[in-house]
Each structure stands twice: as structure tokens, then as C-alpha cells.
Amino acid sequence: MYYGYGMYYDPTIILVIIGAIISGIASLNVRFTYNKYSKIRSYRGTTSNQVAEHILHAAGIYDVRIERIRGNLTDHYSPNEKVLRLSDAVYGKTSVAAIGVAAHECGHAIQHSEGYAPLKMRAASVPLANIGSWISWPVIIIGLALGSTPVAQIGVFLFTFVVVFQLITLPVEFDASARALRILDQDHILEGEEHRGATKVLKAAALTYVAALFTTILQLLRLVLIVSGGRRRD
Ligand SMILES: [Zn+2]
């Protein structure tokens, strides 16, 4: 279909737009929820760093360093370096939100020390996912340009690595939050309303991973439609 001044109109772009909207909503939601609970100071007044140290030590982990990292929601645990990085809004803060995020990152450190299988699978799938996201489009375009459906289909197949990676990310993230919330409750670090607040923050964060998976599936669907459309024109 041609649209306007000879510009090719690709109706599958709607899938990309839907994905962008869903990801945008998830990202706004986590920022809104974090802001809300970053204003609620934990009753005990313990800092996120103290909580993180407590959780790591209770799990028998003494070789993980805690560092500060710039940015917003850039918190992560680096298994290779054994470093737990907390962002400006989390590091040393006493809010319910900061403690929840720090505990979640400790959840990843505990997964690593226990050899949690999905975490290993996720790490192993990173190179494949990178290859998939970088070369799937060029391969598809070359396939369509050559009029070769098999080549284009290889491109689509490569993109499925990205979907698989994001699928494996879900149990890793859900489990880290479940561990965090269990420890915060059991060790009476956050109680009652505080614990519910941390739960909301971590749920909002988990939803961004679900949104990312959904967005990637929509992109995969788009590639399938483009490649099968290309075949019909042959
Ligand atoms: Zn995480």
C-alpha cells in the first residue's frame, strides 16, 4: 500500500506504537510509585545500606561491596564484580522505597551465591540476545531485498533470542523481589504499611519487565507480519 507522496505506509508500525505506550505507562508508574514511597521514612530509621548489609550478612555473604551509582533507578547487582550498586535516590536513604529496592538487589546477590538456575540461564543468554537484537533487522532487510524468504526468516528467528532473554528475566526479577519482601517481613525490617509500600514499589518495578517482554513480543509479531507480507508479494 502506498500512502501520501509515494511514502510506503507500514501498518505494522501500530504494534511498535502500542508497545511504546505500554512501556511508557509502566515506566511512569514505577517512577510515580517510587516517588510516593520515597517520602515515607521507615519507622526504625535504618538506611538502605544498613538493611543491605544486614541481609547479605544474614545470608552468609561477606564479599559483596555496596557502591553508589548515579542516575534514577539504575540500581543493580553485578555478579561478575560482586558489587551491589544503589542509585542516588536509594543509597543511604531511610525511605520504605529505598529499603525495598536495596533488599531486591540483595535478592539478586543471594540468587548468585546460591547458584539460582534462572539467573545462570539469564547470564548465558545475554550474548545471544545481543546478537539477536543487533543483526535480526539487517538480516531481514537483506532477505526481503534479495526476495529470499528463508534469509528473512533467519532474521526473525534471531529476534526470538531477545524474547527468550526477557522471558527468563521474569522469574529472576520476581524471585529477587519475593526473597526481599520475605526477609524484610521475617526480620521485622519493614512492618505493616511500610511493608505494603515496599511491595507496591517492587511490584511496579516488576511490571516494567512484563511490559518490556510484551513490547518485544509485539515487535516479533511485527517482524513475522513483515516477512510473511514480503512472501505474498513474491
Ligand atoms: Zn532486579
Q: What's the 172 CA to ligand 1 centre distance in angstroms?
A: 7
Per-residue pLDDT tens over the stretch 80-124: 999 999 999 999 999 999 999 999 999 999 999 999 999 999 999
What's the confidence (pLDDT) of residue 90? 96
Position 122 scores a pLDDT of: 94
Distance 121 CA to ligand 1 centre (A): 15
Distance of CA 131 from the midpoint of ligand 1 (Å): 23
Q: What is the pLDDT of residue 230?
A: 64
CA 38 vs CA 30, 94, 98, 158: distances in Å? 12, 8, 7, 40
pTM: 0.90
What pLDDT does 73 receive? 85
162, three cell numbers: 531477545
pLDDT < 50 regions, the chain? 1-6, 234
Question: Residue 55's pLDDT is what?
Answer: 97
CA 176 – ligand 1 centroid, Å: 6
> How far is Cα 224 from Cα 156, in angstroms, rounded to an integer?
7
| Domain encompassing residue 102 | 2-233
**Kind plus residue range of the DSSP H or E element containing 180:** helix 149-186
**C-alpha distance from residue 192 to each of 45, 153, 196 (Å):** 15, 52, 6
Do residues 48 and 98 make contact, with C-beta atoms less than 8 angstroms apart? yes
Give the chain's domain count.
1
Residues tagged active-site:
105
